[in-house]
Amino acid sequence: MVHAAGSLSVRTAFLALALMAALSGAPGDAKADASQLCRAGANLVLAPFDALLAPVIIGKDMYYGLTEIDDELALKVAGAVPGFIFLNGVQVGGAIFREISAVFEFIPGLVTLFREGSQPALYRSAEDAWALYAEQYGPCPVKIGISYNTINDG
């Protein structure tokens, strides 16, 4: 019986040493990437502001269109009211697409926390367009009041 107890303790000590040796290896580089999750969270929270700020954004877009594009005065006057209504629909639709893309990016964003790299943005208009406020905080882009109308470069 003494022999069996001694054999068990040697076996246990050997397994403990092997486990310690396996776990004490040099740590590798961190490969987590939070950029997609940050983008999804920012889009979820900030997309409603694109719709709420639509009159301000459309006003800036229309001012640009009326002053910088060489159209006839009659065309500018005739198109102002329908243009405002149309651009309002474009702006609200863009905000809805931004919200939907955030929902679709959230789960893959959680997955990329545990592997290297991230996926490109699902809705590139939110990344490429000008905004009333745009700042990059590490991997988290913060854009409030994005214009989904492509005539204005900001």
Q: Could you report the per-residue pLDDT of 65-104, keeping only the tens digit for each?
A: 888 888 888 988 898 899 999 999 999 999 999 999 899 9
Q: Minimal CA–CA distance to 98: which of 34, 58, 147? A: 147
The counts of H helices and E strands in the chain are 5, 2
Cα atoms in the 13 Å half-sphere on the side-chain side of 112: 19
Q: What is the pLDDT of residues 98-134, one digit of tens each?
A: 999 899 988 888 877 777 666 777 766 677 788 899 8
What mean pLDDT comes out for the span 21-31?
Answer: 60
Instruction: Look at the block and give the residue holding tokens 């009211």.
Output: 81
Instruction: Look at the block and give the residue holding tokens 């001012």.
Output: 63
pLDDT band at 56 (very low <50, low <70, confident <90, very high): very high
Q: Is the pTM of this model over 0.75?
A: no
For position 44, what pLDDT does the model report? 92
The C-alpha atoms of residue 69 and residue 46 are separated, in whole angstroms, by: 30
For position 34, what pLDDT does the model report? 76
Is pLDDT of 26 > 70? no
Residue bearing the bigger pLDDT, 12 or 86: 86
Mean pLDDT of the chain: 81
